[in-house]
Amino acid sequence: MDQSELMQHISQQYNAELEAIRTKVLAMGGLVEQQLERAIGSLYDGQIEQAEEVVANDHKVNAFDVEIDERCTKIIALRQPTASDLRLVLTVIKTTADLERIGDEAKRVARMAISTAKSEAGRNLYQRIEHLGDRVREMLHSALDAFARMDVEEAIRVAHEDRRIDQEYEAIMRQGMTYMMEDPRSIPLLIDIMWAARALERIGDRCCNICEYIIYFVKGKDVRHTSLEQIAEEFGEEPTNADE
């Protein structure tokens, strides 16, 4: 193997390593999506076995987290990436951290499902939670999709979704409080349901974070503390009105 062949070989291997961490993030994302779907499902159906499986499988999410972090650290140490390669590695490290915490929230929802199973109180609230859960799941799916394609426009669109989620969450809180006042005996159960809603709302925030990392990777600009309107003005299309 002559010098130029060797260089080409190293460069191919490096690209393969970068591609591999992206692929790993998407695999981790798929697992987290599944965990979230099952947690929400078990909350709604009261299927304890499924909820217990979600709790038991959280270690798999954590294992992805540790493995991807190690790979990224190795790439930085051995390949000394710069510019967009470095941004990719940092984006992967941050995205992984948020996915791991989305996994934690899914586990919390599953725990709530176990503690509220078979209770008939607050069934109306369950329906609203399921709707919120569907929205949050879609948001996670779209955020991962935007990550896979490193698509800034999609990332901006997804980040906007968070406002709708916040509105639904607020509505659930108000309704929950009304139910509590009507029937104080249901308070412990309703508190659990409201925690589950809170966990879903937090997942929306974390999906937003992932979208911001995508923008950072593609545009090279840290937009974490910038308003959505400013981001859209600088990098995207017109923002759609979240209230519509």
Where along the sequence are the contacts to a second copy (CB under 8 A)? 59, 62-63, 65-66, 69-70, 73, 76-77, 80-83, 86-87, 90, 93-94, 97, 173, 177, 180-181, 184-185, 187-188, 191, 194, 198, 222, 224-225
Is the Cβ–Cβ distance between 1 and 9 less than 8 Å? yes
> CA 16, CA 109: separation in Å to the nearest integer?
37
Closer residue to a second copy in complex, CB, 154/168: 168
Residue 199's closest CA among 109, 127, 117? 109
For residues 141 and 203, what is the distance between their CA atoms, to the nearest angstrom?
A: 12
CA distance 53 to 38: 9
Q: Which two tokens stand for residue 106?
A: 């899914």
Residue 183 contacts by C-beta under 8 Å, 6 or more apart in sequence?
Answer: 121
Please say which residue, 142 or 209, places its beta carbon nearer to a second copy: 209
- Give least dist CB 99 to a second copy, A: 13
The residue among 80 and 241 lying less far from a second copy, judged by its C-beta, is 80
Q: Nearer Cβ to a second copy, position 128 or 157?
A: 128
The b/e string for 183-218 (b: 16+ C-beta within 10 A; e otherwise) is eeebeebbebbbbbbbbbbbbbebbbbbbbbbbbbb
Using the minimum distance from each CB to a second copy, give the nearer residue, 27 or 63.
63
CB 2 to a second copy: min, Å? 27
Closest distance to a second copy from the beta carbon of 15 (Å): 19
CA 78 – CA 15 distance, rounded (Å): 13
Rounded Cα–Cα distance for residues 81 and 35 (Å): 33
Task: Tell me how far apart the alpha carbons of residues 234 and 236 are, in angstroms, rounded to a whole number.
Answer: 6
End-to-end CA distance of the chain: 62
**Residue 31: closest CA among 61, 51, 56:** 61
| Nearer to a second copy (CB atom), residue 9 or residue 74 | 74
- Nearest approach in angstroms of CB 184 to a second copy is 5
Residue 94 Cβ vs a second copy, minimum distance, rounded to whole Å: 8
Closest separation in Å from C-beta 47 to a second copy: 26
Q: Cβ of residue 240: shortest distance to a second copy, in angstroms?
A: 26
Q: Which is nearer to a second copy, 142 or 213 (CB)?
A: 213
